[in-house]
């Protein structure tokens, strides 16, 4: 959002205990809102108003006092609850529930075609049950605009379903292209490492810390919004698309991808809308699950459990837990956190992406966890075609020695796929008529 931030009041209801509004406040600010007031309530959900009706009237008074033009509710509201709350507010004040707010953020950050399609898909899936509600009520009550849900259009529900099908088809095509690119990179000798974790855990900062000078963009032809260094601002959802950079390793060619951050309490339909973004995680050789070690232990535990549920659903690569932001806590706190998380993260790597502390230890761990490299020795005839193969091997493997004479003898280390291709190229030289 640009210009003067829109003034808003944030409200949240919980069934029991004390409502935590830190995350929703950060989300509101990430969307460009100025949070003027926060209201909470502890009670069971009211079917008509979500909050108690009296609490809604109190919220309306706070909205007036704050001169707000939006009310952000950190819960999922049904269409009738949205209408009923809106009726209690001054005219023109918008009611935005948690998931509509998240969709606003996604829409603001979506610059690539893939991200824009995923946002559109999520918005349509959000709208579909509301369109179905309009259809159901319109059949029961012939008044146009019944319950403030808008005038009934019998074709709208059908149109939404058709648009969802169209977007899914286009996203499948994009993912096939992305997968082809990933396979090409593997065949070229690259190991693929993905950064996963919750928003603001420090993934983008870690990407910058691991990266070499050479950058390789995941969508280099359609990523005008992302420069060669991923942003690392202290705000949620800075990264919506994926950014891939070549990492700084001596003996391996490694590409590290920073992906969209997880966020708590997302409904299945919203996670499903962005599953193609997570394919960079699911199809990696190694996943680094980045966690903010300065957060309370129970919060860290809950986030790791949720992340594992998401990752293990389709992921087969090893997962290494990275406890980031150790510069914010002392050694005793780190020991307590590691002990408390030992069952979930038995051997985490503790780092500070901001200061660079223990980054070398993380690089060593990445090297150990990635698929083993194979050593190979090739003997090839000295021909012009051989020089082309030698150049290819230099580009795709770590070459130890090359001896030139009547024959070319190369010793190198590479991924199994590269070793296999190099053998095939050497065999082709022999079969073309050269004598080894």
Binding site members for Mg(2+):
204, 239
CA distance linking residue 167 with residue 160, whole number of Å: 11
Identify which of 34, 90, 85, 97 has the alpha carbon closest to the alpha carbon of residue 61.
Answer: 90
Annotated binding site for GTP: 197-204, 258-261, 324-327, 352-354
3-class state of residue 270 by DSSP: helix
Closest CA to 273 of 120, 96, 418: 120
Q: How far apart are the first and last CA of the chain?
A: 67
Distance, in Å, from the CA atom of 114 to the CA atom of 256, rounded to the nearest integer, reads 19
d(CA 356, CA 350): 11
Q: Name the 3-class secondary structure at 30.
A: helix
Residue (of 132, 126, 121) closest to 157 by Cα position: 132
Which three-class secondary structure state does DSSP give residue 74? coil
Quick one: which of 362, 168, 372, 113 has its CA closest to 251? 372
Number of H helices, E strands in the chain: 14, 14
Per the DSSP assignment, residues forming a β-bridge with 73 are 11, 97
Cβ neighbours, 10 Å, residue 312: 10
Question: Which residues are CB-neighbours of 216 under 8 A, at least 6 positions away?
Answer: 244, 245, 246, 255
Residues of the binding site: 197-204, 239, 258-261, 324-327, 352-354
Exposed/middle/buried for residue 24 (C-beta within 10 Å: 0-12, 13-18, 19+) = buried
């Amino acid at each position: 959002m640009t210009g003067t931030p829109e003034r808003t009041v944030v409200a949240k209801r919980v069934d029991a205990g004390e409502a935590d509004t830190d995350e929703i406040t950060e989300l509101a600010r990430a969307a460009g809102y100025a949070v003027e007031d926060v209201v909470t309530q502890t009670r069971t959900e009211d079917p008509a108003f979500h909050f108690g009706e009296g609490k809604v009237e109190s919220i309306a008074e706070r909205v007036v006092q704050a001169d707000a033009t939006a009310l952000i509710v950190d819960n999922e509201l049904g269409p009738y609850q949205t209408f009923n709350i809106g009726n209690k507010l001054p005219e023109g004040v918008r009611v935005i529930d948690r998931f509509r707010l998240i969709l606003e953020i996604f829409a603001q950050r979506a610059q690539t075609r893939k991200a824009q399609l995923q946002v559109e898909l999520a918005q349509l899936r959000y709208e579909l049950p509301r369109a179905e509600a309009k259809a159901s009520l319109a059949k029961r009550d012939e008044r146009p605009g019944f319950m403030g849900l808008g005038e009934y259009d019998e074709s709208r529900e059908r149109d939404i379903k058709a648009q969802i099908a169209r977007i899914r088809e286009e996203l499948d095509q994009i993912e096939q292209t992305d997968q082809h690119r990933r396979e090409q990179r593997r065949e070229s000798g690259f190991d693929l490492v993905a950064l996963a974790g919750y928003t603001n855990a420090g993934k983008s900062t870690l990407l910058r810390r691991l990266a070499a000078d050479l950058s390789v963009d995941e969508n280099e032809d359609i990523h005008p919004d992302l420069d060669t260094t991923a942003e690392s601002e202290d705000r949620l959802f800075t990264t919506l698309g994926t950014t891939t950079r070549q990492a700084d390793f001596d003996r391996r060619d490694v590409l590290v991808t920073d992906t969209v951050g997880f966020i708590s309490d997302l409904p299945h339909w919203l996670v499903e809308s962005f599953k193609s973004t997570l394919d960079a995680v699911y199809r990696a050789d190694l996943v680094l699950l980045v966690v903010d070690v300065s957060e309370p232990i129970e919060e860290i535990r809950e986030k790791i459990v949720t992340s594992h549920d998401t990752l293990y659903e389709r992921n087969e690569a090893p997962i290494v837990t990275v406890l980031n932001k150790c510069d914010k806590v002392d050694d005793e706190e780190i020991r307590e956190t590691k002990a408390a998380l030992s069952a979930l993260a038995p051997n985490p790597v503790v780092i500070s992406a901001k200061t660079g502390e223990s980054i070398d230890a993380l690089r060593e761990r990445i090297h150990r966890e990635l698929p083993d490299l194979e050593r190979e020795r090739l003997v090839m005839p000295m021909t012009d075609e051989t020089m082309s193969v030698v150049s290819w091997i230099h580009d795709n493997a770590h070459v130890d020695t090359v001896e030139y004479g009547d024959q070319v003898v190369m010793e190198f280390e590479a991924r199994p796929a590269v070793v296999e291709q190099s053998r095939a190229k050497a065999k082709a030289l022999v079969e073309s008529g050269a004598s080894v």
